[in-house]
Amino acid sequence: MDTVAAEPFTISDIERAAGRIAGHAVLTPLLGSLALDRIAGRRLLLKAEPLQRTGSFKFRGAFNRIAMIPEAERARGVIAFSSGNHAQGVAAAAALHGIPATIVMPSDAPAIKRRSTEAWGATVVPYDRATGDREALTATIAAETGATIVRPYDDHGVMAGQGTIGLEIADQCAALGVRPDAVIVCCGGGGLIAGTSTALADRLPGVPVYAAEPAGFDDTRRSLESGHREENDPGARTICDGLMAPRPGALTFAVNRRRLSGGFAVDDDRVRAAMAVAFEHLKLVLEPSGAVALAAALDPTTLPQAGTLVCVATGGNVDAELYRSALDA
């Protein structure tokens, strides 16, 4: 379901998105801790999107995209497919716009994510991750109902909403009097990092932006190296359930190939350790997918010359059982 962009993606898209989400999305804090800096051996600042509405950055993109639907089409609602956080973001953004939402969700998604999506009044349609075709199912329902499809990443409206994080990082660094040596962003399909890197190229030109991905799902890292979109091994597994996209998006990679300086692959043990560090030193709950950038930044072999790093922590929607196991590691 590749999408063709009619227009280039620019900072103006992100600035307009910032205007649309203002007063609806949380301006999340940029957290730091001297104790954390001692552990890391450098200054780390963490953009705390677990404190965003619905517990992840996905609300930003969903709200912006839905706000762009023409008035005449809104009553037919929206439909999305998602392993969870995008689902909650779409469900909440639709509810706040007063329109119905249908979410096609893998039947093995974390219970907390399904529960939270339904709590926003959305209709959840489960599918089997191994045998089902979520894109075909979504397209069929959309054709029947006339609902607008809100893609998880490969859409300029979604990318622009996520990119508002880059505008906020630049403002918050300026308020602290800090110029980061690099920014590391958790990366699945690449929408967040496409938006964030575009915003940062405008607001903090020259600051490199890197993707952090789970080991086995480092398609963006490998695609940046090869110059074209690489696939992940279908047999790969990770606890980072939100970052299991099979390949970079077409629209996102068109941006990311120009904007990004590289990527890092992080194994699940480092992800669990980063969750425990955020618990002890930031008092912030991170889900595995949300901890990948922090895990990369905590690795001393990552950008060893960088004295100050900003990481985007993308979400905190994690089942209690998995969280308990991360604290036990």
Q: Which residues contact 136 (CB under 8 A, 6 or more apart)?
A: none
Residue 156 binds to its own copies (criterion: CB under 8 A): no
Contact flag: residue 1 with its own copies (CB under 8 A): no
- Which of the stretches 145-153, 158-166, 186-194, 315-323 binds its own copies when contact is defined by CB under 8 A? 315-323
**111 lies in the binding site for its own copies (CB under 8 A):** no
Q: By three-state DSSP, how is residue 75 classified?
A: coil
- Kindly state whether residue 98 participates in binding its own copies, applying the rule CB under 8 A: no
Stretch that binds its own copies, among 31-39, 207-215, 239-247, 298-306 (CB under 8 A): 31-39
Which one of 9-17, 24-32, 79-87, 260-268 is the stretch in contact with its own copies (CB under 8 A)?
24-32
How far is the C-alpha of 129 from the C-alpha of 135, rounded, in Å?
A: 11
**Per rule CB under 8 A, is residue 33 in the interface with its own copies?**
yes
Q: Is 119 in the site for its own copies (CB under 8 A)?
A: yes
d(CA 17, CA 63): 9
CB of 43 to its own copies, least distance (A): 15
> Of the listed pieces 115-123, 189-197, 222-230, 302-310, which binds its own copies according to CB under 8 A?
115-123
Q: What is the C-alpha separation between 103 and 86, in angstroms, rounded?
A: 9
Helix (H) or strand (E) holding 21, with range, is helix 11-21
Q: Decide if residue 122 touches its own copies (CB under 8 A).
A: no
Q: Which residue has the tokens 């001692």?
A: 38
Using CA atoms, how far apart are residues 316 and 314, in angstroms rounded to an integer? 7
Q: How far is CA 317 from CA 79, 82, 131, 154, 288, in A?
A: 21, 14, 26, 22, 9
Q: Contact region for its own copies (CB under 8 A) — 43-51, 102-110, 123-131, 266-274?
A: 43-51
Q: Determine the longest span between alpha carbons in the chain, in angstroms.
A: 56
Give the DSSP letter string of 85-143: HHHHHHHHHHHHHT--EEEEEETTS-HHHHHHHHHTTPEEEEE-TTT--HHHHHHHHHH
Binding status of residue 279 toward its own copies by CB under 8 A: yes
Q: Does residue 53 touch its own copies according to CB under 8 A?
A: yes
Decide: is 228 part of the binding site for its own copies (CB under 8 A). Answer: no
Q: Which of 108, 233, 269, 280 binds its own copies (CB under 8 A)?
A: 280
Q: Please, how many CA atoms are within 13 Å of residue 51, restricted to the half-sphere of its CB?
A: 14
Q: Is 31 in the site for its own copies (CB under 8 A)?
A: yes
CA separation for the pair 71, 195 (Å, rounded): 25
By CB under 8 A, residue 61 contacts its own copies? no
Is residue 22 near its own copies by the rule CB under 8 A?
no
Residues at the interface with its own copies (CB under 8 A)? 26, 28-29, 31, 33-35, 38, 48, 50-51, 53, 55, 92, 112, 116, 119-120, 276, 279-280, 282-286, 316-317, 320, 323-324, 327-328
